[in-house]
Amino acid sequence: MVEDKKISMAVIRRLPRYFRYLSDLMKLDIKRVSSKELSERMHITASQIRQDLNCFGGFGQQGYGYNVEYLYNEIGRILGTDKRFNCIILGAGNMGNALANYENFKRRGFDIVAIFDVDKEKIGNKINDIEVYSTETLAEFVANNKIDIAILTVPNKKIIDIATEVTNLGIKAIWNFSPTDLRLGEGIVVENVHLSDSLMVLGYRLREKED
Amino acid sequence: MVEDKKISMAVIRRLPRYFRYLSDLMKLDIKRVSSKELSERMHITASQIRQDLNCFGGFGQQGYGYNVEYLYNEIGRILGTDKRFNCIILGAGNMGNALANYENFKRRGFDIVAIFDVDKEKIGNKINDIEVYSTETLAEFVANNKIDIAILTVPNKKIIDIATEVTNLGIKAIWNFSPTDLRLGEGIVVENVHLSDSLMVLGYRLREKED
């Protein structure tokens, strides 16, 4: 078993992608894969793949390749896909709705247990069977339920206040969809989703192709 | 001026993030920044920052730091923030709605000019002043308007058919929100957005903190 502490965050950030590709290979009943084959599928250099997967010790063998199932299970274990996390969504707008309907999250161990909004018209509705509550009841809800992650899809001008409130209630992890990069001190982990970053990379690659 | 060809895709993928931070510094009227200060703000090692920004030649000077405005402009030029791209969204569901309402895209040069859906109830509506058309009129629309990028928010079971149709119509870039990784041959650039990757990293970091 791998000692997780040795793995850098840069590698960790690539692991979900390896995990997806290995999952595809397993569905195709492929037992072994070389770094060259993975490289062609994933558009990562074979040398980068070998370097990344080196962290996992010697189970990639020269001329023999990686054991797909073992690697899949090991990466899954490190990513904690066997763990479950309770999540709440703050903001029942379009993005909140889209996320509440994303079936992938549950499969990956993330259960969305409640949605909060200030809009009286939305309170009491259900989105994908998840109830929308008034933000006024947030403190009480968090006191009575173990909540691991707050998913923030509130308007940008409210983001700092909401993030502060949520962390004051003891929630330790925030998934932030506002354009503001949240920094909330040592005890809180934040992943800021910047959709326009990905779009800018697409624009760059398109121009490069056309030049 | 920097020779763009020297910059690797790994660095390119980090540029939008530098661009955002530099934009924040400019708003604060900060003229110069050291790799150490950027490191503290961005949670990237100073050595990684120096290595990344080395591609831009010698404008980070020892003990003097980077010229914020120059670096911002140069990165913006490489990313092509002065260029404009015409985009269409396929799928007027929650994610399509959320993206159509994202004000950041226009500021970054991406104009969403039309939305397409099969649902008769949605056709003719406007989302953030952008009209929803019938998918039946897609070919005609693309023939009459220069479309650079197709943003796909259609159900996963339709994604291959829609991506094939869109590329057959001559669109060269796809921003894909379905869980399926699209691979469409050499001439087409694709950015696959996998929201659950980011959530899995958040879960990992949360567990690491709690261990």
For A20, residues 6+ apart whose C-beta sits below 8 A from its C-beta are B181, B194, B197
B43 → chain A, closest CA residue: A183
Distance CA A20, CA B179 (A): 10
Residue A59 pLDDT level (bands cut at 50, 70, 90): low
Question: Nearest residue of B to residue A106 by CA position?
Answer: B196
Query: Pick from B132, B129, B89: which is nearest to B110 by CA?
Result: B89
Residue B60 has pLDDT above 70, yes or no: no
Mutation target to probe the A interface, by most A beta carbons within 10 A, among B43, B184, B204, B209 is B204
Closest in B95, B201, B208 to A16, CB measured: B201
Average of per-residue pLDDT across A48-54 = 83
* DSSP bridge pairs for A117: A134
Higher pLDDT, A51 or A63: A51
Displacement of CA B54 from its chain's centroid (Å): 23
Whether the CB-CB separation of A79 and B204 falls below 8 Å is answered with: yes
Which residue would you say has higher pLDDT here, B110 or B44? B110
Q: What average pLDDT does the segment A159-188 reach?
A: 92
Its pTM stands at 0.87
Q: Name the minimum distance, in Å, from the CA of B200 to any CA of chain A.
A: 7
Q: Mean per-residue pLDDT for B129-152?
A: 97
Contact A207 B80 (CB under 8 A): yes
pLDDT value at position A63?
66
Q: Which pLDDT value is given to residue A208?
A: 87
Least confident of A13-22, A196-205, B36-45: B36-45
For position B185, what pLDDT does the model report?
A: 81
User: Are A185 and B169 spatial neighbours (Cβ–Cβ below 8 Å)?
Assistant: no
> Are B79 and A200 in contact, with CB atoms under 8 Å apart?
yes
Chain A environment of B2 (Cβ under 8 Å): none
A178 CB contacts (<8 Å, ≥6 apart)?
A152, A153, A154, A155, A156, A159
Q: What pLDDT is stored for residue B180 in this prediction?
A: 84
> What is the pLDDT at residue B63?
66
Residue B6: pLDDT band with limits 50, 70, 90: low
Q: What percent of chain B has pLDDT over 90?
A: 62
Give the ipTM.
Answer: 0.91
A122: Cβ contacts below 8 Å, ≥ 6 apart: A92, A132
**For the residues B78-92, what does the mean pLDDT come to?**
93
| Nearest-10 crossing angle of helices B9-27, B46-54 | 110
Confidence of residue A72 (pLDDT cuts 50, 70, 90): very high
CB contact under 8 A, A149 and B200: no
pLDDT digits (tens, 9 = 90+) for B169-202: 999 999 999 988 888 888 999 999 999 999 999 9
The pLDDT, as a whole number, for residue B109 is: 92
Q: How confident is the model at residue A8 (pLDDT cuts 50, 70, 90)?
A: confident
B154 vs A contacts (CB less than 8 Å) = none
Q: Which residues on adjacent β-strands are paired with residue B123?
A: none
What pLDDT, on the 0 to 100 scale, is given for residue A191? 94
Tokens of B145: 């308007």
CB pairs under 8 A between A and B: 166
pLDDT score of A183: 81
Mean local confidence (pLDDT), B36-45: 84
Report how far apart, in Å, the C-alpha atoms of B37 and of each of A18, A194, B68 are.
33, 22, 12
Angle, in degrees to the nearest 10, between helices A46-54 and A35-42: 110
The pLDDT assigned to B134 comes to: 98
* For range B24-43, the mean pLDDT: 89
Q: With an 8 Å Cβ cutoff, are A83 and B207 in contact?
A: yes
For residues A181 and A190, give the distance between their C-alpha atoms in angstroms, rounded to a whole number.
Answer: 9
pLDDT at A15 over 80: yes
The sheet that has B65-67: what strands, in order across it? B32-33, B65-67, B60-61
Residue B165: C-alpha distances to residues A16, A184, B25, B137, B188 (Å): 29, 45, 43, 12, 13
The residue of chain B with its CA nearest to that of A13 is: B201
Helix (H) or strand (E) holding A17, with range, is helix A9-27
Chain-chain contact of B203 with A16 (C-beta, under 8 angstroms): no
Give the residue from chain B lying closest to A5, CA to CA: B208
Predicted pLDDT at A137: 97
Of the pLDDT bands very low, low, confident and very high (cuts 50, 70, 90), residue A60 is: low
Q: What span, in angstroms and rounded, lies between the C-alpha atoms of A56 and A71?
A: 8
Cα–Cα distance for residue pair A34/A65, rounded to 1 Å: 4
> And the tokens for B81?
């923030």
The tokens describing A95, both together, are 């993005």
List residues bridging with B191 in a β-sheet.
B175
Minimal CA–CA distance to B199: which of A155, A89, A24?
A: A89
pLDDT of residue B192: 92
Q: How far is A133 from chain B (nearest CA, A)?
A: 19
Would you state the structure tokens that stand for residue A152, as one six-digit string? Answer: 């923030």
Residue of B nearest to A101 (CA): B94
Distance separating alpha carbons of residues B167 and A66, to the nearest angstrom: 34
| pLDDT at site A7 | 78
Cβ-Cβ contacts under 8 Å, A97 against chain B: 94, 98
Take residue B8 and report the two structure tokens written for it.
């690797």
| Distance (Å, whole) CA A137 – CA B22 | 39
> b/e map of B119-157 (b: 16 or more CB within 10 Å)?
eeebbeeebeebebbebeebeebbeeeebbbbbbbbeee
Report CB contact under 8 Å: A203, B149: yes
Q: Which residues contact A63 (CB under 8 A, 6 or more apart)?
A: none
What CA–CA distance (Å, rounded) separates A13 from A8?
9
The alpha carbon of residue A76 is apart from the nearest alpha carbon of chain B, in Å, by: 10
Q: Which residues of B touch A199 (CB under 8 A)?
A: 105, 108, 110, 149, 175, 191
CA-CA distance, B78 to B83, in Å (whole number)?
10
Point out the least confidently predicted range of A50-59, A167-176, B103-112, B133-142.
A50-59
